[in-house]
Amino acid sequence: MGDDAGDLLALSPDEILARVRFDSAGLVPAIAQDSTSRQVLMLAWMNEEAFRATMTTRRATYFSRSRQRLWVKGETSGNSQQVVQLRLDCDGDAVLLLVEQQGSACHTGEQSCFDVGGADVR
Amino acid sequence: MGDDAGDLLALSPDEILARVRFDSAGLVPAIAQDSTSRQVLMLAWMNEEAFRATMTTRRATYFSRSRQRLWVKGETSGNSQQVVQLRLDCDGDAVLLLVEQQGSACHTGEQSCFDVGGADVR
């Protein structure tokens, strides 16, 4: 078991990238979580280029599956995400970004994309 | 914009299911978040059967892509997830479960699957 946040700190971007298991379409799901409120804001997808851009620019950058191109979060809305921490899960096939969200994360105007509908099941 | 947690409450399981956009493999990614600590615990996948089972049993149930079968979280480890709230994102292609986690979520023994490696990028 690795120390919290320890394993990746000594690695270069290339070494971190080598641990990511992209799917057959070359994508990996990325969860954006507000680093302050801890609210889960959205789930998007990254290809290798988006992952590398996120690490180097520290701005969350995704791959738009509908537009089939790189998508810097907030590039049109201004609602960008400053990445504070990037985490991989235990088998490298999911990414968690802790971000400082400018404005709202969702194009609907809601703070989180998950604000649009929920059901208590308790 | 819908009220927080309001939209799905009036719907039946079938009506909620009709809003989910499963991918070409019949799967949707599901994020499990601890309802108390707000820690993101894991990302797994659901097919329609897993989604329906989660709603009806209130225990997080996923579809194991490696084993190609339904997987009730904690069925062998005992580390089950009681689902407190189920949310869909704005376009219905991601699920967020707020859960009460028994024991640790990750098979490595870490509390979260994202505890195994992170990098500060600030």
Intervals of chain A under pLDDT 50: 1-6
* Total length of chain A: 122
Distance CA B68, CA A104 (A): 37
| Mean per-residue pLDDT, B90-113 | 94
Would the CA dihedral through A30, B23, B31, A16 be positive or negative?
negative
Contacts of residue A40 in chain B, CB cutoff 8 Å? 31, 33, 40, 96
Region of poorest pLDDT, from B7-11, B16-20, B95-99, B111-115? B7-11
Q: Which of B116, B120, B122 is the best mutation test for A, with the most CBs of A within 10 A? A: B116
DSSP-based helix, strand, coil % in chain B, nearest 5: 15, 35, 50
Region of poorest pLDDT, from A88-102, B32-46, B104-118? B104-118
pLDDT per position as a tens digit, B61-70:
999 999 999 9
Host H or E run for residue B88: strand B81-88
Neighbours of A75 (CB within 10 A): 12
Distance CA A52, CA A47 (A): 9
Q: Do A121 and B31 touch (CB under 8 A)?
A: no
pLDDT of amino acid A12: 80
3-class SS of residue B114: helix
pLDDT of amino acid A121: 64
Average pLDDT, chain B: 89
Task: Provide the token pair at B28.
Answer: 């949707």
pTM for the whole structure: 0.91
Distance of CA A9 to the CA centre of its chain: 18
Q: Which of A12, A89, A96 is the best mutation test for B, with the most CBs of B within 10 A? A: A89
Closest CA to B89 of B29, B12, B41: B29
The ipTM value here is 0.91
pLDDT per position as a tens digit, A93-104:
999 999 999 999
Burial class (CB in 10 A: 0-12, 13-18, 19+), B88: buried
- Window B:75-114, CB contacts with A under 8 Å: 82-91, 94, 96, 106-110, 113-114
